[in-house]
């Protein structure tokens, strides 16, 4: 397969890369929204009020928002593949932590890890689009990325909720952790930062983004 315009591949390989990225983003959205459907179970598990449990979500969002600029710099330095895989690892560890946490501080730590991993994902996936697709397709593919990733909410609303109510807290969050492990394997095995023939990504000397 030869590179397309400006080294981009407008062929099945590009769509495969995009699909892997979207799957990782879909998993990230599922991890992000999973705690929202486990509020009642969380109050019982952590012996905390609803207000205290809501702090989990608020803190996760603060971590997500606060890391957007650092993540933007790091993805320019290390590439999307490394950042998406690292984000999935953090989310998997966060859900693993939550699976066995039975106190508020331990639960908060789990959600902080999930928020940090989540923050790494979307920016890194979006960065792949202009590299792998011609400029004319970038707006459409970018919109498809955001829309497709939001389907991850269905995972937390339906299968996760069913497992949570039928098999219990530990099993449900371990299942989510396993999803992140699967995302790591797929990203490392199949996702690439640049198409064949594209100039190799230069390692930045600092964390400043390239022009």
pLDDT of 12 reads: 87
Whole-number Cα distances in Å, 76 to 84, 131, 135? 12, 12, 19
Does residue 208 carry a pLDDT above 60? no
**Interval 172-206: pLDDT, tens:** 999 999 999 999 999 999 999 998 766 655 543 33
pLDDT of res. 1? 40
DSSP state of 203: P
Residue 35 in any domain: the answer is: yes
DSSP per-residue codes, 169-195: HHHHHHHHHHHHHHHHHHHHHH--SS-
Q: Is residue 9 part of a domain?
A: no
- Is 38 within a domain? yes
Tell me whether residue 208 is in a domain. no
> Could you tell me which of 63, 35, 25, 41 has the C-alpha nearest to residue 179?
25
Q: Is residue 154 part of a domain?
A: yes
Residues 85, 71 contacting (CB under 8 angstroms) = no
Domain range for 82: 20-188
Q: Does 170 fall in a domain?
A: yes
Task: State how far the Cα of 131 lies from the Cα of 22, in Å rounded to an integer.
Answer: 15
User: Which is more confidently placed, 166 or 207?
Assistant: 166
* pLDDT for res 200: 58
pLDDT at position 201 is 54
- Give the CATH number of the domain where residue 37 resides: 1.20.1250.20
Residue 198 lies in a domain: no
User: The whole model's pTM is what?
Assistant: 0.88
Q: Which of 6-10, 82-86, 90-94 has the lowest mean pLDDT?
A: 6-10
pLDDT digits (tens, 9 = 90+) for 21-79: 999 999 999 999 998 888 889 999 998 888 888 888 889 899 999 999 999 999 999 99
- Number of domains present in the structure of the chain: 1
Q: Is 206 part of a structural domain of the chain?
A: no
Instruction: Over range 141-170, report the average pLDDT.
Output: 92
Q: What is the mean pLDDT of residues 141-150?
A: 93
């Amino acid at each position: 397969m030869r590179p397309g315009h400006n080294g981009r591949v407008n062929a099945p390989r590009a769509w495969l890369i995009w699909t892997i990225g979207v799957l990782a983003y879909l998993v990230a959205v599922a991890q992000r929204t999973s705690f929202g459907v486990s509020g009642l179970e969380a109050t019982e598990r952590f012996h905390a009020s609803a207000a205290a449990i809501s702090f989990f979500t608020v803190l996760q969002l603060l971590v997500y928002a606060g890391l957007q600029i650092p993540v933007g710099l790091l993805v320019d330095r290390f590439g999307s593949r490394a950042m998406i895989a690292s984000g999935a690892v953090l989310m998997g560890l966060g859900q693993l932590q939550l699976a066995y946490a039975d106190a508020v501080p331990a639960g908060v730590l789990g959600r902080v890890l999930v928020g940090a991993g989540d923050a790494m994902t979307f920016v890194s996936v979006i960065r792949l689009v202009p590299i792998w697709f011609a400029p004319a397709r970038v707006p459409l593919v970018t919109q498809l990325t955001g829309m497709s990733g939001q389907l991850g909410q269905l995972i937390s609303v339906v299968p996760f909720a069913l497992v949570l109510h039928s098999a219990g807290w530990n099993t449900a969050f371990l299942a989510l952790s396993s999803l992140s492990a699967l995302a790591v394997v797929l990203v490392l095995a199949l996702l690439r930062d640049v198409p064949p023939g594209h100039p190799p990504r230069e390692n930045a000397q600092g964390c400043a983004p390239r022009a």
